[in-house]
Structure 1
Amino acid sequence: MNSFFSKVQQYYYEILKILVFIIAIGLVSWLSPKDSIFKYEFQIGSPWKHNDLFAPFDFAILKTKDQIAQEKEKVLQGFQPFFNYDNNIANENLKVLESNFVTLWHSDLKSGRKRTKDSLKCLKFTKELYSEVENKGIIRTDDIIEGKPSDYRIKLIKDNLATNAKLGDFYTIKGALEYVQSQIRKANRADSSIVLGAISHALVQNVFYDKSKSETAQQELINHISPAFGMMQKGEMIISKGELVTPKKNQILLSLKKMYETEYGSSNHKYYVLLGITLLITLLFLLEYLFLRFYKFEFFNELKYINLILLTQVALVALAFYIFKEFPEYVYAIPFVILPIILIAFIDHGTAIVVYLITVMLIGFFAPNSFEFFYTQFAAGLVAVFSIGKWDHRIQIARTSLLTFLTYLIVYISMLYSREGNLNSFSLDFIKLTAANSVLLFLAFPIVFFYEKLFGLVTKLTLLELSNTNNTLLRELSVKAPGTFQHSLQVSNLAAEALYEIDGDTLLARTGALYHDIGKMNNPTYFIENLSSGFNPHDELSYEESARIIIAHVLDGIEMARKAKVPEQVIDFIRTHHGTRMVEYFYRLEKKKNPGLEIDSSEFRYHGPIPFSKETAVVMMADSVEAASRSISNPNEQKINDLVENIVNALIEDNQFANANITFKEITKVKKVLKKKLLNINHVRIAYPD
């Protein structure tokens, strides 16, 4: 048991990586469509590429969406919406009418225009006219009947009986008032203003649209529409090899596909389908795992890179599967190309291409018209990878977006010509979708920023911003410690040139070198490059105190960088540029001062760590030789050659590169570059005549 746990502990990191891949496989398998996959691909106007196809079972030939829509329209053309007649409203409003009448009558009575004996006759006439109008029905013109002719037929529900009626059978409020006015004129009454006033304030709508009944009736009519227009019997030939796929044949094939994917097959059959899907997904992720392990070990060795890759893949696959299921017509609006763009920002082009290929294969297996989908997306992805370059300028994403759109367009037109020999089927919808797709690539900016924070990674764009010498920390360094700033610039240039020769990350090294000595700002005058007078503050300190101040610039630099939120990848150069070396100058002086005593070397040694990457190792070399080269009097090729050889060999002997992935062959190339650059920097100047 102890042996087992010790093995687990030993391979913990490897087990963790495998576990992350297993989780990704599980998620993609769970998210994937569980229906049987229809294995045939076909396009209208193209020859049937497969063997003769016979119906494997009885199935209905489904109508197209357009056919269903036309039938719905036809069925609903003669539909009569339901309206309810409310008897209670007219009866209740009679009281309002009487109240209005009394008020108006008394008003006229006071003015001396009416006699009391006329009131009963007038009220009777008013009530009869009002009842006549309300009994006929008052309807409101709204969205349901807006613009409909007077002979438009409806169903009127009155006293629980439904009868046919026409819009012209009812009044609107305006029409009712006009009728009342005409009847008053015919009667030639002296009290017409009272009658009109009483009725106009009492008229209300009493015929109402019944939305619930109408929609239920509409749905019943729609439900009676048959989704099919024919049947295929088991064993009946559907299409023969080489036969053109006509619209009718296409609909039969689509009907078979739908039946096959949604209804056909026992539960055991579906379990086998799920097993097959899981195995295919596992195989693709296994290929990705092996590629990263054997060809991209520098990234595979870091769990955060694996998490970044798999998180982006699973998120994109989940989005694709959701769109396939809910909105299949919007497949080409999904910005699949954003995957390699994001990976290039953090990793490299090779990894981006392989991971994108595997992702498109994963998604393409479930996509409609798999081959067309895969070919289109892979072509667009390759163009995006090559056009984005190193992605060290923001404008590159705009160029990539445009080229991706053009690639989609060219592939689409090529496919149409290859299938049909013309552009009769050219769809503007495809252009709109791919245009939206290309615009969505700009989402790479916020996603990359989010990933930088989530995974603690750094991109070239961030490094470019950090390497700007107007950056706050670098500006402060140039003011407080100008000598150190100039030294950092030289180290930055030397390291970048050397790493260019050995295919290292030049931008990361250049940025790291600019920041490697920022800790000297705390005590700038204790470092010789910043001394501008003959006074040396070390003269007043013990050698141990001097060494302590020199060593402290590493920890001070780390603290400053973290306070300024400099990424850890850049801080690595601060903490490793001296490794675990000795402060030789003060150590030797201490030994010379106390020849008979044993000196505690730890007081004169940097705390490390030693460089653990190609870039940090090269910056250590560049820093050491650049600083030492300043002490050479009358520099020449031999002196510089000896200086570089001695310093770099001493670093190797001191095991400072034991953890760095740099070879002796690469170190030799680095030394060659350093010698050449230092010779150029320290060249003998021509003496100009007076």
Structure 2
Amino acid sequence: MSFFEQLLEKLKIKQVDFYKIEKSQRYIWVIVIFVILAGIITIDIFPRQVNLEVGQVAKNDVVAPKTVEYIDEEQTEALRKEAANSVSKVYEEDVGILTEVKVEVRKFFDNVTMIRKADVELENKVEQVQDNYDIELSYQNLSYLFSLSEEDIELLKEDILMILAKYLNRGVKNDYLSNVKEQLSQDAAKLSEDQQYNNLVSGIAQHFIKPNMIFNLEATEKKKEEARQKIEPIRRTFSKGEIIIRHGKVVTKDDIKILEKLGLRQAKINYLNIIGHILIVLIFTLIPTIYISQYQRDILEGEGILALLGLLPIIIITLAKLASYIANYMPIEYPSFVVPVAAASIMIAILIDTDLAVLFTISLSFLVGIVTGDGVIGITVALVGGLTGIYSVSKLSQRSDLARAGLIVGLTTSATIFTFLLMVPNVELARFLKVLWGILNGVLVAVVTNGLLPYIENIFGITSPVKLLELSNPNHPLLKRLLVDAPGTYHHSIIVGNLAEAAADKIGADSLLARVAAYYHDVGKTKRSYFFTENQIGSENPHDKLSPSLSTLIITSHVKDGLELAKEYKLPQVIVDVIEQHHGTSLVSFFYQEAKHDEKYKSIDEDDFRYDGPKPQTKEAGLIMLADMVEAAVRSNVSAQSNPGKLEKFVRELIKKKLDSGQLDECNLTLKDLDRVANAFVNILKGIFHNRIEYPDNIAQQFKEGKKLDGSTNK
């Protein structure tokens, strides 16, 4: 029958045994869990697309499914370009230009002086000047130049040098040279009343003036880049749940860009993002796996436990994914607040181990925060809720304590949410209503744990302390049947339970399991209770009329009968194992010796007088075997009951016999454990069989007369 067929049979509340997982298959199971978790986290099961184009009218409000912050590249670039364009060009002054211009002007006038002295016609003199210098002076102006006296020419030269120095000292840029020449001409026109003289000054100065401010391209570009860098990137943030496009609005190009940033415009595969999420899942899968393989290897032997540890994270992460999806359509800012991480934490703590529950809570909290995108606040709330759940069930005494644990988780989660909200500047009062999500989380935790725990126990074959506490109730139908049909066995089982519980506390075993399993270890005696000495009244013993082999068969059959009753009453497998193993393969020595000394039996096979076994496989089963043996033996040994020294010696001898016979070889009880077990048994038995005061028959009459037991009077 397949696993799924067995799972369907749970409708009949039958226990399912998971596949016997070999070592290599356990690794495959871990890989399967990792692949499933990675798939849930990285694959968007419910992709949401917004098919809008520029110019269309939005028919519905478009809400941001997650908080996103991005840099508006276009706007940032526009501002940086504007800043760069506003930077003025960088020029460097060439200080040698002024000197160079002065030299050229003086050479010009030296040349004019030489031409003046030449014995040629005026027309030839003018032509020489025009040939030597491409100067924009008319024939009339040049003729006027040669008509000036030497003193006037010297004055002309000084005026030209003065004007050139004036403008060159200010700085003449190449792209402003034409403007400078125009201004120079205007200044020259004001030098004298002789307009021809002014024209000479203007024409010659304009010819010789040149830029002395050189444009520095490299420095200009550097300055522009500095101006660009001073512009901070324009960041835009859209919070989860914020309306991006309202109903009835015309969609713009900016709206489309926002939709693309939110991943609503078109599905884009971000492979680096996927790889990052897969690595995170791998980390938080390996952490508990390595911990279990190093410190909790016994968990690997339990197929049901291993399956539960794999399925619980899948369920929680699936719920987180579902909550994240619902938050896209509802005003839920932090969907992780309602994910019942504490439910998984509580179930692992109750069913498996507290330390392992803490480790799983840490891993699950981080994965939930990643799935929902709630960041630090989501991780913290889940972590605090899970740890609180673990601590709140540390002393579990009844199933109603799970509801109390849910209430504690809800209050703690709400307090954590409230604390984070206080850290938000200028938070609105309405946002404090988010603390109600913490209360809802606690309610979900209580409902999930109370509702699923019984089914998990049956499906995965794991027994919780709550189940054991329910089984320890004297009103349990099987215990009531044991009390009615075999009262002596019931009393014996209670004492065995006390002995086993005390011993388990001393050696670090499961004391609750030891006590409850002891209550049921002899339930098979209810079918033929009168064949067992603790239930016999009077001196008549039915075994006196039976052969030793038949008596042995009846005595040993109580184990098989107990297994049938356990199946009928649907007892957990751990209890069934104790019923089957509490005698191991022990010899029924009384009837074996009787048969051995009976002449009717020619050949006696010792195996015919042994229990079928198997030997105890756990410490709890071993303790119940020892407690069962010790209680029965001490009850029949009056001398040991009255003497503490004899009692301790007798108990230790009994334990040693079991050890020597090999019955404890498979239950991991060490010699040190057995020493502590013996001390625990002796302390309990001393309390049961201690000497009591013998009260006089007329005690009631003495109290009526106002006398104390020692003879004094009461005043």
| TM-score bin (small chain) | 0.5 to 0.7
Residues 146-186 of structure 1: per-residue CA shift (max 9 Å, x gap): xxxxxxxxxxxxxxxxxxxxxxxxxxxxxxxxxxxxxxxxx
Q: Residue 454 of structure 2 aligns with which residue?
A: 449
Secondary structure of 1:630's aligned partner? helix
Q: Give the match for residue 122 of structure 2.
A: none
SS at match of 2:637: coil
Query: Runs of 5+ in structure 2 lacking a partner?
Result: 1-19, 45-64, 71-228, 698-715
Whether the 8 Å contact between 2:388 and 2:409 is mirrored in structure 1 is yes
Measure how far apart 1:587 and its partner are. Answer: 0.7
Deviation, 1:586, is: 0.8
What pairs with 1:99-178 in structure 2 (closer than 5 Å)?
Answer: none
**Structure 1 residue 431 corresponds to structure 2 residue 440:** no
Partners of 1:521 and 1:230 lie apart in 2 by 79
Q: Distance in 1 between matches of 2:36 and 2:469?
A: 37
Other-structure match for 2:583: 578
**Partner in structure 1 of residue 390 of structure 2:** 385
**Separation in structure 1 between the aligned mates of residue 379 and residue 439 of structure 2, nearest angstrom:** 18
Of stretches 423-432 and 578-587 in structure 1, the one that deviates more from structure 2 is 423-432
Cα gap change, 1:450 to 1:56, in 2 (>3 Å): farther
**Offset of residue 325 of structure 1:** 3.3
Query: How much identity, in percent, do the aligned residues show?
Result: 28
- Residue of structure 2 in register with 1:462 after alignment: 467
Deviations for 1:40-69, whole angstroms, at most 9, x for unmatched residues? Answer: 9999xxxxxxxxx99999999879966656
How far, CA to CA, are the matches of 1:343 and 1:437 in structure 2? 18
Contact 2:563 2:576 in 1 (8 A): yes
> Hey, what's the Cα distance between the residues in 2 that align with 1:537 and 1:67?
87
Cross-structure match for 2:368: 363
Query: Per the alignment, do residues 313 and 228 of structure 1 end up closer, same or farther by CA in structure 2, a change over 3 Å counting?
Result: same
- 1:17-32 matches, within 5 Å, as 17-32=26-41
Q: Deviations over 1:217-247 (max 9, x none)?
A: xxxxx5x33373698xxxxxxxxxxxxxxxx
Residue 261 of structure 2 aligns with which residue?
259
Matched, 1:414 2:419: yes
Q: Which residue is 2:163 aligned to? A: none
Give the distance between the partners of 1:55 and 1:547, measured in 2 at CA: 97
Q: CA deviation at 1:481?
A: 1.3
2: CA distance, partners of 1:41 / 1:67: 13
- Between the aligned partners of 2:625 and 2:495, the Cα distance in structure 1 is 13
2: CA distance, partners of 1:575 / 1:517 = 10
Deviation at 1:426, TM superposition (A): 5.1
What value does the CA root-mean-square deviation take over the aligned residues? Answer: 3.3
Give unpaired runs (5+ residues) of structure 1: 1-10, 44-52, 76-221, 232-254
| Deviation by residue 1:397-437 (Cα, 9 ceiling, x = unmatched) | 232222222222222232233332x6535514413322222
Pairwise mapping of residues 678-689 of structure 1 onto structure 2 (< 5 A)? 678-689=685-696
Cα offsets for 1:312-349 (capped at 9, x unmatched):
11111112123223425233222221111121231122
Mapped to 2, the partners of 1:383 and 1:605 lie a distance apart of 51
Closer/same/farther in 2, CA of residues 229 and 617 from structure 1, 3 Å limit: same
CA pair 54-489 structure 1, distance change in 2 beyond 3 A: farther
How far is the alpha carbon of 1:283 from its aligned partner? 2.2
What SS does the aligned partner of 2:463 have? coil
Q: Does 1:228 align with 2:237?
A: no
Give how far 1:689 is off: 3.4
Is the contact between residue 42 and residue 277 of structure 2 (CA under 8 Å) also seen in structure 1?
Answer: no
Does the C-alpha gap of structure 1 residues 374 and 346 become closer, same or farther in structure 2, counting only changes over 3 Å?
same
Could you give the per-residue CA deviations for residues 8-31 of structure 1, whole angstroms, max 9, x where no partner exists?
Answer: xxx962112111111101111111
Relative to the length of structure 2, the TM-score reads 0.64
Letter in structure 2 aligned against 1:271: Y
CA drift at 1:541: 0.9
Q: Indicate yes or no: 2:525 matched with 1:520.
A: yes
Matched, 1:614 2:631: no
Matches within 5 A, 1:468-547: 468-547=473-552
Query: 1:560: how far off?
Result: 1.4
Give the match's secondary structure for 1:578: coil
Q: Aligned to 1:672, which of 672, 679, 691?
A: 679
Partner of 2:650: 643
Instruction: Compute the displacement of 1:305 (Å).
Output: 0.3
Alignment of 1:204-215 (within 5 A): none
Matches of 1:684 and 1:432, distance apart in 2: 62
Change (3 A) 1:63 1:313: closer
* Conserved? CA contact 1:558–1:571, under 8 Å: yes
Query: What does residue 75 of structure 2 align with?
Result: none
- Residue 479 of structure 1: SS of its match in structure 2? helix
Count of matched residue pairs: 493
For the residues of structure 1 that align with 2:483 and 2:395, how far apart are their CA atoms?
29
How big is the shift at 1:513?
0.6
Q: Comparing 565-574 with 604-613, which one deviates more in the overlay?
A: 565-574
Contact 1:416 1:425 in 2 (8 A): no
Letter in 2 for 1:672: N
Report the AA paired with residue 642 of structure 1.
K
For 1:64 and 1:393, locate their aligned partners in 2 and report how far apart those are by CA, in whole Å: 42
1:33 maps to 42
Q: 1:336 aligns with which of 334, 341, 355?
A: 341
For the 8 Å contact 1:60–1:228, the answer to whether it is kept is no
Alignment partners' CA distance in 1, 2:571 and 2:429: 55
Question: Residue deviations 1:624-650, cap 9 Å, x none?
Answer: 100000111232112211221111111
Which residue does the alignment assign to 1:549?
Answer: 554
Deviations 1:534-569 (A, max 9, x none): 111111111111111111111011111211222221
